[in-house]
Structure 1
Amino acid sequence: MTSGAVDAARNILTRLHEVMASRNHAQAKLNTVVEVIGECLDSEVCSIYLLREGMLELFATRGLAQEAVHVTRMAVGEGLVGTIAENIETLNLAEATAHPDFSYRPETGEDKFHSFAGVPIVRRERAVGVLCVQHVEPRRYVEIEIEALQTVAMVLSELITNADLIDEEDARAFAAGQTGPEHLKGLTLVKGLASGVAVYHQPRINIEHVVAEDTEAERQRVILAFDRMREQIDRMAGQAEFGVGGEHEEVLETYKMFAYDEGWTRRINEAIDSGLTAEAAIERVQQRTRMRMRQIDDPLLADRMHDLEDLSNRLLRIVSGQLGTAATLGLRSDAILIARNLGPAELLEYDRRRLKGVILEEGSLTSHVVIVARAMGVPVLGRVRGLRGVIREGDPLLLDSDQATVTVRPSQALVEAFEARFARSRERQAAYAALREVTPISRDGQRITVMINAGLRDDIANLNLTGADGIGLFRTEFQFLVSATLPARERQTRLYRDVLEGAGDRPVMFRTVDIGGDKTLPYLRHDDGESEENPAMGWRALRVALERDGLLKVQARALLEAAAGRTLNVMFPMVVEPWEFDAAKAVFDGQLAFLKQRKKMVPEAIRYGVMLEVPALAEQLDILAPKISFLSIGTNDLTQFLYAADRSNPKLAERYDWLSPSIMRFIRRIVTVLDGKGIDITVCGEMGGRQLEALALIGAGIRRLSITPAAVGPIKELVGKIAVAEIEAAMAQWLAHPPRSLRAAMIEWVSERGIVVD
């Protein structure tokens, strides 16, 4: 802002401050406001249009016909005023009639005026009115005048809100009318349906006071806020979790560049000099940035402007003292959470009764928050571009993560269709819930063990809710993912003990910590600091635990102490060679000996198992079999290794099918090799939670499934409809002579028997 603009804005704000402090009624204040602006800017016309019942109504004018006040009304997008409000943008025209959206209103007497400039009056990111000036002489307004108008518009926003000239319902209705229903596409991270209002993880700061009482005091507030923000950015840049090199470092360097940008700080200080509060000054500069962003076609530059938007929000939160997230403030209704990205610990802070879904601007299939959200049963849609320009706080949303879409401000017809689909889904869930006490036994008397996967303390309640046979996979790494530091042994022991007590006499299979690869921890990284090109097949799971044996020793001791007097089931992830199992078991043996030596209570029995995820292990099962009591097939990793297809790559997600002869023959071979050896074989993974795939697994000889809690009911229902001998015979035939599509053959098989599968 130039010195001329500062002086002009300060002069206007000084006079407006007197107007706002007067005891005149709202209309009289607006009448005075247009006179003040007209005089200060030497403008022949100054007019204010405000939102009323979804229309923009002329509320006050200097220079146009007074009889047009409260008579002239324009719809959203109609005329120049409607265009400004619709797009929340500034117009500066030397010849108004040349603009394609110009609309002549004869009752105003504006036909003699040629030049036109207008700015939106914004409240909580919604346009609630328009401030405009006009001249007879055709000319473009200089930057000084436009900046002064934009500053005045902020003051008007406060004035009209305090005077109740518009209400929030009008603003929301107007915003909905601006764009109507919109559909955004993204990437399905966790499937599911959800409806609720949009809640930003980092809430926007509502600026209540615009005009400063003490300019120097406001300047000091901004200086302190900048210092604190820069400390935060420097601290973030120095944290180990960002590693060395890569995108994180580039992002933080950009943040630092903006945080220390003198031009940004100068513009904010100039806005304060014009008479604005610290919050209003930051918002004033931010509004200008947003308007520039709408004109940028370069995606890289647009991303950089988004970074500046993030920093502006951070600065606003610091200067206003409103540092909490939406979780701190509490959810007041069913909500869909909006964030650029989110950590697992942040997600767990939200009220699970109110949190219905999550939408991320970024996010990946393997991010920590997705892993936790899947366990919580919260649908997540990621990589939704441009959502901040479309979704506003409080907007109603319909999230269909199954179809990778979100509908913003849906019409009534869309809401009704969605609710009907949701109702059918709930009816199915209710029917499945009724199967809680039903034992999964097939028509020919075969008992199928159906267990759940878990990883959080709260997940234990799902045992009783579903009537599951136990926990076939307890992911101990969740406690590590949501912790800022390595969880102490006492904390681990408490968690494992709580899980065992909650499970009662039902078994719990604890998988030792599976970190590394796609589940990196900030406090546990490569010694050389190098990132991995292919983390899924890199330094992860048991490989990490054996190299950092202190990690496994602490966990072994915690598990042994927690299971004192009980049976402990423990399995090791990503075992490739039998010696790896031996080394991991030796750690447990050492801790067991330590506890016995100190006369501590120990488990009455310990059953060891392995996760078969790497195909190579199948070639040495004869060597491993005598040493283990159970084996769990991890179909998620196994599939990507068999197909050399990264399961986190959306381009490859549809390139392989669980119901392929390759996978089914592999699983059948494992069952055959271990037959008669007294080893429990369980399939852990998403494959076992789908009805058609579960049927295929049963046909291949699998009798134990560990699945997501939501899938227990559907699988129980399936088991009761089939004869195991019948599907085994069919599967043997299919695997011996593979059909063109095993999936199609199975669909035909169930259809012939009247079995409906999802």
Structure 2
Amino acid sequence: MSFSEATASSREILTGLHDVMASRTHAQAKLNRVVEIIGEALSSEVCSIYLLREGVLELYATLGLNQDAVHVTKLALGEGLVGVIAKTGRILNLDEATSHPDFAYKPETGEETYHSFAGIPIIHRERTVGVLSVQHADPRPYRDVEIEALQTVAMVLAELIANAELIDDSATDDEIARQTEAMHLTGQKLVVGMASGVAVFHQPRVNIEHTVADDVEAERARVYAAFGKMREQIDTLSNQAEFGAGGEHKDVLETYKMFAYDEGWSRRINSAIDSGLTAEAAIERVQQRTRARMHEIDDPLLAERMHDLEDLANRLIRIVSGQLGTAAQLGLRNDSILIARNLGPAELLEYDRRRLKGVVLEEGSLTAHVTIVARAMGVPVLGRVANIRRLIHENDELLLDVEDGSVYVRPSGTMIEVFEAKQARLKEKRAEFEAQRDAAPETQCGKRLKVMVNAGLREDVAAVNLAGADGIGLFRTEFQFLVSATLPRRDAQQKLYTDVLDASGDKPVIFRTLDIGGDKAVPYLRTETSKEENPAMGWRALRLSLDREGLMKVQARALIEAAAGKTLNVMFPMVSEPWEFDEARALFEAQRVWLEDRHHMLPHDIRYGCMLEVPALAEILDQLLPRLDFLSIGTNDLTQFLFAADRADPRIADRYDWLSPAILRFIRRIVRETTAAGVPTTICGEMGGRPIEAMALIGLGVEQLSITPAAVGSIKAMIRSLDAEQLRGRMDEWLAEPPPDMRQTLLDWAEQRSVAIA
């Protein structure tokens, strides 16, 4: 079956279904006729419809299976192939059904003579309500065009089933729980902060009431008009100067704008209209295909691109249907916490900043475009909160504490008291930290330490002075690459680096060269190699840059020219052996000479350092130290490599404590070696931003920390209350004979000496 044949089959089926839906026969007769129409159009030997009733999938109509099995054959969610489709919401396409591990034989159906099987979820309002399946005696997989036709039919079936009142509206376990009691839900910390307000549902999706078109050309005209209006809206958003010139969020919106003008997307919607769908149904049909693809993608960046496309599709459906009533368009009346499955960056920008206090998402990620924009807006965001849209009501009171990874729904009096008390304490702490902003991080024993910040956005640089930090100990240059649809040009890179250096003034900035690849893939730097099983330990960071030499040369020139007349600090990530550092440094030096020969202004000094994240480097560090100007220990990657514990795996990420004697002994050995060699060493990573962990690091001899800006105040307060010399002696004793609980031992020691562990 060709694409045109699939479109013709879809149109033939939809025409037949239109007549069935308009007929006055009862629901069972309609479904019986539906399976006949589909079977005839697709030359299918079996076509069956299963509906979800009271939590069980029931065979409601069939062509090809025994009629005696109708209303008799039943499958639990997750049972058999049909049950798996209903539970996961995903398509199955098998040339041999019995070979699938979830195959369940039901003798009353008489299906033993059929080998091939394809099943499509029937989805109504984002919920699977049934399954449409086809079978053949010949063992062959169904072609993509056939699956496309079945997906189109399943969409129309959802409308028919809903109109026939066959949707099972009985409450699920989650909905039973959604009453009036207080709840505490947890999620992933995306943008840290605290906020309170009423729950407001973003509601970006429109319920599609009619799926079969009466006039295809009229539907096409509606889509063309909607595309024009949507593109006008996106152009307006991308031209807003909300945050001043430039910024990574601007790159995000340019990528978003690119999708709005994508001809391939509009062409697929046109093809869906050709099959006989209404404009709204055609847009939704294309999006169902996108969602199915998204489930198969492990690449977080590409998945994020898919989310942007979904945002645009929701916007397009609202325009074409005339239902523009999102919470943003209707306006926020009170302080509000926005609830959504996911958000696109442009959708977030439409909200009133005075009323929008926070966001809670069912999905979301740290590198999501909406997270980048929310951070620039200063809006706290909690992600990965399972079933949030089912567990709460519109206008429920919410307390959002992203620092704790929590949202409190319909809070009790006790919850409110605890929340308000924490807010009050944080306000007091902020006032204390603000008062000490210009105070040096000097210990009680007179040791001046350095507290620097990690950054990755142009806007982050302002935090250096606001927090009273000593500079930027880690500027992640990859952020500019992660939010861009194409490889950032040299002039764009240079402008970013120039802006960062200018904003930093006399305070140092350490630029880490690109750490992309592996689990931070970008679509314009893809390889022909197979998917990496362990991306964090794969083709990434310096390994990628040395392999793609042109990439590093462009970044080197951009950095060198941006630092003209200043000191340039360059740090190479993921160094495993000295030769990698040597090659990277030689590449930078070659670019410096190239620019010098052409009479470009140069930095008055270039200092070269590297990150120690790979444990192997510690074993040969003595060979590398004479060539280093500075060293940074990346505790995030180092810890996962030392313990063979993937920090992206929630089952393992928190299993190993940063205060384990193993990691502390390892860091102490490195610090002693670098101190003896006179090489300044900085701790970069979350470990240094936690007061008790930072205290332990200082006890090991660490004198420089680079941490998140929000942690600077509490770390400086801890340092100023600490006698570092006294602690170092105790740390040596504890590491010689580790106590049963190192964390508690350190906490007790700090409490006894009034060390400020916030």
Q: TM-score range, shorter-chain basis?
A: 0.5 to 0.7
Distance 1:480 1:466, change over 3 A: same
Q: Structure 2 vs 1, CA of residues 259 and 521 (structure 1 numbering), >3 Å: closer, same or farther?
A: same
User: 1:221 aligns to what?
Assistant: 219
Distance 2:549 2:203 in 1: 39
Offset of 1:722 from its aligned partner? 1.1
Task: Tell me which amino acid in the other structure corresponds to 1:220.
Answer: A
Q: Following the alignment from structure 2 to structure 1, what is the Cα–Cα distance between the partners of residues 162 and 324?
A: 33
Between the aligned partners of 1:637 and 1:202, the Cα distance in structure 2 is: 38
Specify the SS of the correspondent of 1:755: coil
Judge conservation of contact 1:193–1:402 (CA < 8 Å) in 2.
yes
What whole-Å deviation, never above 9, does each CA across 1:701-734 have from its counterpart, x for those lacking one?
0000001111111111111111111011111111
CA contact (8 A) 1:183 1:405 kept: no
Which residue pairs with 1:536 in the alignment? Answer: 536
Mapped partners of 1:375, 1:394: distance in 2: 26
Q: Where do 1:260-409 residues align within 5 Å?
A: 313=314, 316-317=317-318, 319-320=320-321, 335-341=336-342, 356-363=357-364, 379-391=380-392, 396-409=397-410
Matches for 1:592-603 after TM superposition, within 5 Å: 592-603=592-603
Distance 1:548 1:719, change over 3 A: same
Distance in 2, Cα, partners of 1:719 & 1:464: 19
Q: Which aligned pairs between 1:439-518 and structure 2 lie closer than 5 A?
A: 439-518=440-519
CA distance in 1, matches of 2:376, 2:658: 21
Find the counterpart in structure 2 of residue 656 from structure 1. 656
**Deviation per residue, 1:519-542 (Å, 9 max, x gap):** 11121122x152111101111110
Change (3 A) 1:329 1:487: farther
Give, in angstroms, the shift of residue 331 of structure 1: 7.8
Q: Does 1:674 align with 2:674?
A: yes
Distance 1:641 1:226, change over 3 A: farther
Shift, 1:425, TM fit: 2.0
Query: Structure 1 pair 372/523, CA: closer, same or farther in 2 (3 Å)?
Result: farther
Are the aligned partners of 2:216 and 2:274 in contact in 1 as well (CA < 8 Å)?
Answer: no
Query: Could you tell me which residue of structure 2 aligns to residue 431 of structure 1?
Result: 432
Change in Cα spacing, 1:188 to 1:503, as seen in structure 2 (3 Å) is same
- In structure 2, the CA distance between the partners of 1:696 and 1:489, relative to structure 1 (3 Å rule), is same
Secondary structure at the residue paired with 1:453?
Answer: strand
Aligned mates of 2:420, 2:360 — CA distance in 1: 20
Report the counterpart of residue 686 of structure 2 in structure 1: 686
Quote the offset at 1:587 in angstroms.
Answer: 1.2
1:407 Cα deviation after fit: 3.1
Amino acid corresponding to residue 494 of structure 1 in structure 2: K
Q: Distance in 2 between matches of 1:494 and 1:718?
A: 37
- Mapped partners of 2:349, 2:588: distance in 1: 31
TM-score (norm 2): 0.62
Distance 1:7 1:633 in 2: 72
CA separation of 1:684 and 1:375: change in aligned 2, threshold 3 A: farther
Which whole-Å deviations, capped at 9, do the CAs of 1:376-417 have from their partners, x for residues lacking one? 876543332323334566654322335543234546765454
Structure 2 residue 721 is the aligned partner of structure 1 residue 721: yes
CA distance in 2, matches of 1:323, 1:606: 55
User: Cα offset for 1:318?
Assistant: 5.0
Q: How many residues align?
A: 542
Maintained 8 Å contact 1:356/1:379: yes
1:584 is paired with a residue whose SS is helix
- Structural mapping, 1:514-593, within 5 Å: 514-526=515-527, 528-593=528-593
594-603 or 650-659, larger mean C-alpha shift:
650-659
Match of 1:738, SS state, is coil
Give the Cα–Cα distance (whole angstroms) in 2 for the partners of residues 587 and 196 of structure 1: 53
| 1:669-725 C-alpha deviation (Å, 9 max, x unpaired) | 011112232211000111111111111000000000001111111111111111111
Q: Say if 1:603 and 1:549 are closer, same or farther in 2 by CA, change over 3 A.
A: same
Summarize the Cα distance change of 1:351–1:675 in structure 2 as closer, same or farther, 3 Å threshold: farther
Contact preservation (8 Å) 2:269, 2:283: no
What does 1:169-184 align with in structure 2 at a 5 Å threshold? 179-180=179-180, 183=183
Name the aligned partner's letter for residue 742 of structure 2.
Answer: L
Q: Distance in 2 between matches of 1:664 and 1:147?
A: 65
- What is the SS of the residue equivalent to 1:674? helix
CA-CA distance at 1:317 after TM superposition: 2.7
The answer to whether structure 1 residue 752 and structure 2 residue 752 are counterparts is yes
Percent identity at matched positions?
A: 58
Q: Go from structure 1 to structure 2 and tell me whether the alpha carbon gap of 1:745 and 1:519 turns closer, same or farther (over 3 Å shift).
A: same
Structure 2 CA distance for aligned equivalents of residues 483 and 194 of structure 1: 31
Change (3 A) 1:4 1:628: closer
Distance in 2 (CA, whole Å) between partners of 1:441 and 1:508 is 21
Q: Deviations over 1:339-383 (max 9, x none)?
A: 444678987998887765443323456767668878987654333
Deviation at 1:735, TM superposition (A): 1.3
Evaluate the alpha carbon distance shift between residue 715 and residue 182 of structure 1 in structure 2; reply closer, same or farther with a 3 A threshold.
Answer: same
Change (3 A) 1:413 1:623: closer
1:737 partner amino acid: E
Letter paired with 2:587: V
Instruction: Name the aligned partner's letter for residue 426 of structure 1.
Output: K
The yes-or-no answer on 1:633 pairing with 2:633 is yes
SS at match of 1:632: strand
* Cα distance in 2 between the residues matched to 1:640 and 1:355: 37
Q: Residue type of the partner of 1:501?
A: D
Equivalent pair of 2:199/2:394 in contact (CA under 8 Å) = yes
Partners of 2:652 and 2:523 in 1: CA distance: 29
Matched to 2:721, the amino acid is K
Amino acid at match of 1:465: L
- Structure 2 gap ranges (5+): 1-16, 26-158, 167-174, 231-264, 288-306
- Asked whether the 8 Å contact 2:454–2:472 carries over to 1, the reply is yes
Q: In structure 2, do the counterparts of structure 1 residues 263 and 369 end up closer, same or farther at CA, with 3 Å as the change threshold?
A: closer
Write the distance in 2 (CA, Å) between the matches of 1:219 and 1:698.
72
Pick closer, same or farther for the CA change 1:226–1:419 going to 2, 3 Å: farther
Gaps of 5+ in 1: 10-142, 151-174, 233-254, 270-277, 287-305
Q: Is the 8 A contact 1:194 1:379 kept in 2?
A: yes
Matched-pair contact (CA < 8 Å) for 2:512–2:570: yes
Deviation of 1:472 after TM superposition, in Å, equals: 0.4
C-alpha distance after superposition, 1:265-295 (max 9, x if no partner): 87x76xxxxxxxx779999xx9xxxxxxxxx
Cα deviation for residue 179 of structure 1 reads 3.6
What does 1:7-86 correspond to in 2, within 5 Å? Answer: none
Asked if the contact 1:659–1:693 (Cα under 8 Å) also holds between the matched residues in 2, the reply is yes
Q: CA 1:497–1:349 in 2, change beyond 3 Å: closer, same or farther?
A: farther
The residue number in structure 2 matching 1:712 is 712
Deviation at 1:337, TM superposition (A): 4.5
Residues in 2 aligned to 1:324 and 1:481: alpha-carbon distance in whole angstroms: 32
- Tell me the amino acid that sits aligned with residue 664 of structure 2: M
Aligned partners of 1:539, 1:435: CA distance in 2, in Å? 44
Structure index of larger Rg: 1
Aligned-pair CA distance for 1:437: 0.9
CA gap of 1:344–1:593, structure 2 versus 1, over 3 A, is: farther
The amino acid that maps onto 2:467 is: T
Any idea what SS the aligned residue of 2:570 has?
strand
